[in-house]
A and B are shown apart, each in its own frame.
Chain A
Amino acid sequence: MAGIDTGGGHGGKRALNQEVPLIPFIDFLLCLVMFLLVTAVWSQMARINANAQVPGPPQDEPLEKQEKPKTLHVEARGDRKFQLIWKEGSTVINTIDVERKKVNVGNDYRYPDLAAKIKSEWEANGTHRNKTDPKLDQAVLSTDNSTPFADVIAVIDAIYTPKREMTMGNTTELVPAFNVSFSMN
């Protein structure tokens, strides 16, 4: 058993040796382990973000001088293809068609081709790619009203595939390159 041996104890003097009480310590640790195991949350739940485009406070700059941000519109209508449309305001800059190819992953499915195309498009045309830029590029998702939610999540997941570094204060984090919102029409 663990103890502290300082020698001594000779010549009628009290020995200074001490035994560390390990058994109550082990009991305490076991109780702690039991408590933590019982209260542990083993959930694998996470969230995927979407942002409603709420107008900010009015700006002093006249409307025509304000810079129109470049946005990527992801059209997930029909079951044959996706359409990626780069727009500046209401002006269409570029349109790309991507084949709608599902890849099953367990009970769900993914769109790896769409994810790869969105990544290459962002690398070529993304506006906010600098580390110190606090803004993200905007992606707008348009779907049919009858599209199941699982399909919506698979497309949002593909949009979040490209990542970039963002410096906030002293720390640099890897964040999704796009901010997703829904087209409401």
Chain B
Amino acid sequence: MSGDKPLSRFHQPIAVPGRRLLHHIKLGFVRKKVVGGGGRSLNQEVPLIPFIDFLLCIVLFLLASFSATGELPLDKNVKLPNAENVIDMVEAPMVAVTGTQILVDGVPAGNTRQIEDAHEKRIQRIDELFQMLKAKRELWRTLKPDKPFPGVVILQVSKEVPALVVKSVFQTAALAGYPNVSFMVGRLGEEEGK
């Protein structure tokens, strides 16, 4: 038989191609090392457990700081002063004094011009504000007849508003049945204040 004669490339049997690179290295274990066999697997596991732990921490923090009452309605024209010794906000009627206008929960309730332009500079009751606050108090009492009325009102007053106007609004609120008046302020950091 012509076993010595190699078959032409058109007559060779079909075989699964094997590794050809560096096949001339005789020693198997050397060849394996040279071609990079036995190395680290390239598959990578994504560490999901720490990722879930991290997400859970964020969720818990956000849930703890979540406020169901929504954003505090702050009039954009009001420039609030800052203070250090403050307490947290509560839900209460909001009276904003900006420029010459007075707003109760965003609804106009008179203006300060009558106080500032008066010949005699003295504290005055602001009738429109008084009526609106009184109506709010009566509505609260109708809706919650079994609960004591807290009498809290929050004033948003711009930095530059004179004390005469502040005292007039303060007194009007007290006369309308809101003796616990709070002033809305920015929270001044303790380290900033020192």
**In the complex, what residues of A have CB within 8 A of residue B49's CB?**
2
Interface residues of B in 35-78 (CB under 8 A from A): 48-49, 51-52, 55-56, 58-59, 62-63, 65-67, 70-72, 74
Q: How far is the CB of B129 from chain A (nearest CB, A)?
A: 15
Bound form: Cα–Cα A25–B49 in Å: 11
Partner of A184 from the list B70, B154, B167 (CB cut-off 8 Å) is: B167
Q: Is the interface of B mostly helix, strand, loop or mixed?
A: mixed
Bound form: Cα–Cα A7–B164 in Å: 81
**In the complex, what residues of A have CB within 8 A of residue B171's CB?**
52, 184
Interface residues of B in 64-97 (CB under 8 A from A): 65-67, 70-72, 74, 80-90
**A2-B48 contact in complex given A32-B59, A54-B174, A150-B159, C-beta closer than 8 Å:** yes
Q: Number of residue pairs across A and B with beta carbons under 8 Å?
A: 161
Partner of B89 from the list A36, A46, A110, A147 (CB cut-off 8 Å) is: A46
- Whether A48 is near chain B, meaning CB under 8 Å from some CB there, is yes
Q: How far is the CB of A156 from chain B (nearest CB, A)?
A: 7
Q: Is the interface of A mostly helix, strand, loop or mixed?
A: mixed
Q: How far is the CB of A12 from chain B (nearest CB, A)?
A: 31
Partner of B193 from the list A29, A43, A110 (CB cut-off 8 Å) is: A110
**In the complex, what residues of B have CB within 8 A of residue A154's CB?**
81, 83
- Whether B179 is near chain A, meaning CB under 8 Å from some CB there, is yes
Bound form: Cα–Cα A48–B80 in Å: 12
Partner of A48 from the list B121, B123, B160, B185 (CB cut-off 8 Å) is: B185
User: Are A47 and B163 within 8 A (Cβ)?
Assistant: no
- Whether B146 is near chain A, meaning CB under 8 Å from some CB there, is no
Q: Which residue of A lies closest to B159 (CB)?
A: A150
**A29-B85 contact in complex given A45-B184, A50-B182, C-beta closer than 8 Å:** no
User: Are A182 and B84 within 8 A (Cβ)?
Assistant: no
User: Are A26 and B88 within 8 A (Cβ)?
Assistant: no
**In the complex, what residues of B have CB within 8 A of residue A151's CB?**
163
**A145-B186 contact in complex given A46-B87, A156-B83, C-beta closer than 8 Å:** no
Bound form: Cα–Cα A46–B180 in Å: 15
- Whether A16 is near chain B, meaning CB under 8 Å from some CB there, is no
Partner of B83 from the list A22, A30, A157 (CB cut-off 8 Å) is: A157
Interface residues of B in 160-194 (CB under 8 A from A): 160-164, 166-167, 170-171, 173-174, 178-188, 192-193
Q: How many residues of B contact A (CB 8 A)?
A: 58
- Whether B157 is near chain A, meaning CB under 8 Å from some CB there, is yes
Q: Which residue of A lies closest to B123 (CB)?
A: A184
User: Are B71 and A145 within 8 A (Cβ)?
Assistant: no
**A26-B52 contact in complex given A46-B86, A47-B86, A54-B179, C-beta closer than 8 Å:** yes
Centre residue among B85, B170, B173 by max chain A CB count within 10 A: B85
- Whether A86 is near chain B, meaning CB under 8 Å from some CB there, is no
Bound form: Cα–Cα A153–B182 in Å: 11
Partner of A25 from the list B52, B89, B154, B173 (CB cut-off 8 Å) is: B52
Bound form: Cα–Cα A43–B186 in Å: 9
Bound form: Cα–Cα A146–B66 in Å: 40
**A47-B182 contact in complex given A39-B66, A105-B192, A110-B84, C-beta closer than 8 Å:** yes
User: Are B63 and A148 within 8 A (Cβ)?
Assistant: no
Q: Which residues of A contact B (CB under 8 A)?
A: 1-2, 22, 25-26, 29-30, 32-33, 36-37, 39-41, 43-52, 54, 105-108, 110, 143-154, 156-157, 160-161, 163, 176, 182, 184
* 6 intermolecular pairs with C-beta atoms under 8 Å apart: A46-B86, A46-B89, A108-B188, A150-B81, A160-B85, A161-B85
